[in-house]
Chain A
Amino acid sequence: EIVLTQSPATLSLSPGERATLSCRASQSVSSYLAWYQQKPGQAPRLLIYDASNRATGIPARFSGSGSGTDFTLTISSLEPEDFAVYYCQQRSNFLFTFGPGTKVDIK
């Protein structure tokens, strides 16, 4: 099973600041990585798939990069609605796994 590790566990930032979230895989997943956003009491929402493609309707301030084992989600300028938990997910060999999440909270 491929294990995903996310860092930091919590990121405290102010609106307007840049957020950089990391996801590391225990072995290569090529570009088969996605990012999700989850707000309290809500279901997750797909933000980025195939490492760098924005899902339908996702604002351009969200971007993804990386391949192999190291991936990054960047939020260029935090909006108030962006404070949430972010999960990465890989899709290798029907052992789809998620990372433990990074909480982005208001500083």
Chain B
Amino acid sequence: QVQLVQSGAEVKKPGASVKVSCKASGYTFTGYYMHWVRQAPGQGLEWMGRINPNSGGTNYAQKFQGRVTMTRDTSISTAYMELSRLRSDDTAVYYCARDYAAAGTGGANWFDPWGQGTLVTVSS
């Protein structure tokens, strides 16, 4: 079955960077966009961007432009999200989520399934 397994929790100081990984299995990794969504404690969901694992092409939410970098390693079916210049309000659970439709269709930009989430805590 399709599964996304993310890396473990991180604690970072303000101004640092964090890189979260998302290992995919159960499907053709290069065939579906991978999205990243975050959720601050007790808050709602916020889309950060997506990557086409086949081409490496990315689309980022304007809010995160210049601070986020999404990459992938197709040899190990893993997507990465790196967020730099961390602030306290970046404290959140970060999720990877596969697009619901194949990239060949342009993607659906609906998100399913999701990884288990990675808690990133930014604190001095």
**A-side interface residues, number (CB < 8 Å):** 19
**Cα separation A55 to B108 with both chains bound (whole Å):** 12
A8 within 8 A of B: no
Enumerate chain A residues within 8 angstroms of B114, measured Cβ to Cβ: 43-45
Q: In the bound complex, how far is the Cα of B47 from the Cα of A100, in angstroms? A: 13
Most buried by A among B45, B95, B108: B45
In this assembly, does B110 line the interface, its C-beta being within 8 Å of a C-beta of chain A?
yes
Collect the chain B residues with CB atoms within 8 Å of residue A101's CB: 44
Task: Give the docked Cα–Cα distance between A49 and B13 (Å).
Answer: 38
With the chains together, A45 CA to B97 CA distance in Å?
A: 10
Q: Is the CB of B109 within 8 A of A87?
A: no
Once the chains bind, are B44 and A43 in contact (CB under 8 Å)?
A: no
Instruction: Tell which of A11-19, A66-74, A75-83, A90-98 binds the partner.
Output: A90-98
- Mark B54-65 against chain A: 1 for CB-CB distance below 8 A, else 0: 000001011000
A-B pair count, CB < 8 Å, reads 53
Nearest-neighbor residue (CB-CB) of A101 within chain B? B44
Within 8 Å of chain B (Cβ to Cβ): is A84?
no
Q: Is B53 an interface residue (CB 8 A)?
A: no
Contact of B110 among A43, A46, A94, A95 (CB under 8 A): A46
User: Which A residue sits closest to B47, measured CB to CB?
Assistant: A96
The answer to whether A94 and B112 touch (CB under 8 A), given A46-B100, A49-B100, A101-B44, is no
